[in-house]
Amino acid sequence: MAITGGSAVALDLLDGSEALRLHSQFASGVNLACRDHLVYAGTEPHGAACALKVDAADVEVLRSSSSWRWDGRALVAPARRAVELAPDAVRYPVRPPAVPGLPAGDPARLARARSAVGGVSWFDSGLGLEIGLPSLRAAVAALAAGGDIGPVRAVVGLGIGLTPSGDDALVGALCVLAAAGEPWSAAGRHLEPWLGGDGRGRTTDVSASYLRLAVAGAFSTPLGRLVAALADGVPDATLIDAVRGLAAIGATSGMDAVVGAQVAWEHLVATTTRRP
């Protein structure tokens, strides 16, 4: 039994914290509360920004205790049951790709790729089209401007799912903005403390953790792959495969993130076109 892989963020969090607790359980894994974040440990981490890869037997072990500690080599419970870090554990990166040509790109490529995959997002629903998309566009504009986060707060918790659709879309948008080198850190500095303060209760613990990670520049492997595929010269087939990979995550979460990426890319292109 061993931890066979994990994101750089998850492994760094473990190294910086000894005390953990069992936060929530799912069919394929568990969430461990580690400082201000949740570390998902399961059989299907999907390259998440803060996750560990373990097998089904390890998941059952992790379910067996409400408290854990990290001793530098293993997750250890009070009863001394342990899940060790494998010597050859894969450590995957979570930094966004650098795609400097995005503001001069063609966002229609992503729209066509999404249409080819046929995945459904909450933003395709009646409420999503009427309320969600306009709110998301305002939030992306605020993030890109690096100032007032009022429009961003309005999107947090919007929609459906364990990670609400609005949150998933914000993560997708933040990845595109980061890949283009947009200076949204000023807005991020206000968003992160709000999520842990006045904004607590606006969304789920799981989603708040991923939003904080996104503000800090940490994103899942499938999302990073999608954004990298937006670069000029990348075949459309590669972009379609990247969209398909995201579509497989959650009921609508992956496609909600694609919508966020789409809106952010459209904003970058539109604002660059308007500049003198």
What number of residues does the chain have?
276
CA distance 49 to 46: 9
CA distance 203 to 13: 22
> Domains of the chain: which residue ranges?
2-92, 102-274
User: Tens digit of pLDDT for each residue in 91-112?
Assistant: 999 999 999 999 999 999 999 9
pLDDT band at 1 (very low <50, low <70, confident <90, very high): low
Residue with the bigger pLDDT between 196 and 155: it is 155
User: Tens digit of pLDDT for each residue in 67-97?
Assistant: 999 998 999 998 777 899 999 999 999 999 9
pLDDT of 272 reads 84
pLDDT band at 203 (very low <50, low <70, confident <90, very high): very high
User: Tens digit of pLDDT for each residue in 207-230?
Assistant: 999 999 998 899 999 999 999 999
pLDDT band at 265 (very low <50, low <70, confident <90, very high): very high
pLDDT of 209 reads 93
Nearest of 13, 7, 4 to residue 92 by alpha carbon: 7
Residue 184 sits at φ, ψ, to 5 deg, of -95, 10
pLDDT band at 184 (very low <50, low <70, confident <90, very high): low
Q: How do strand 82-92 and strand 74-76 relate by DSSP bridges?
A: antiparallel
Question: What share of the chain has pLDDT > 70, as a percent?
Answer: 97
pLDDT of 113 reads 97
Mean pLDDT, all residues of the chain: 92
At 159, is the secondary structure helix, strand, or coil? coil
pLDDT band at 199 (very low <50, low <70, confident <90, very high): confident
Contact indicator for 260, 98 with CB cutoff of 8 Å: no
CA distance 125 to 131: 10
pLDDT of 185 reads 61
